[in-house]
Amino acid sequence: MAKKKKDCTIDEENYNYVLYLQKQECLGSFSAALDFIIKEHKQAENKEEIIADKIIEKLNKDYFNLLTKLRRNINAADINSQIILEVLNTLMINLEITQAYPTRDLKNNALKVGETEVKNKIAYFKQVKDNKQKC
């Protein structure tokens, strides 16, 4: 590669560092020390890019299936919620229900039973999952 001659001005601390590297790495000239610094900097940038790519690859490998499953479950939950809202709306219209009671104010016993059942199911499946992970 062709060499280019350039005059440049650097502060004293950087100048001393280039001289230090020149001596430390047994480089023949100040210019060779600058070339060394630039080469090292380029290699460091490439290493950072390679490391970032490897991290992304590892995350995709380890978590892609989990994230896909999570996305599907979230979509299913959203669809189910929309269906429930449609059914409830239909029931309320057909039964001519015009008043709503916030659950913080008044809870139907059936709702309490349902909440307990859901909490128990969640606890059960968490226990099953924890037991699988122990094995």
| Per-residue model confidence as pLDDT tens digits over 107-134 | 889 989 999 999 999 999 999 888 888 7
d(Cα 33, Cα 26) in Å, to the nearest integer? Answer: 9
Q: What stretches in the chain show pLDDT beneath 70? A: 135
Q: Which residues contact 25 (CB under 8 A, 6 or more apart)?
A: 33, 36
**pLDDT for 135:** 65
**pLDDT for 115:** 92
Prediction pTM value: 0.45
Contact 23, 36 (CB under 8 A): no
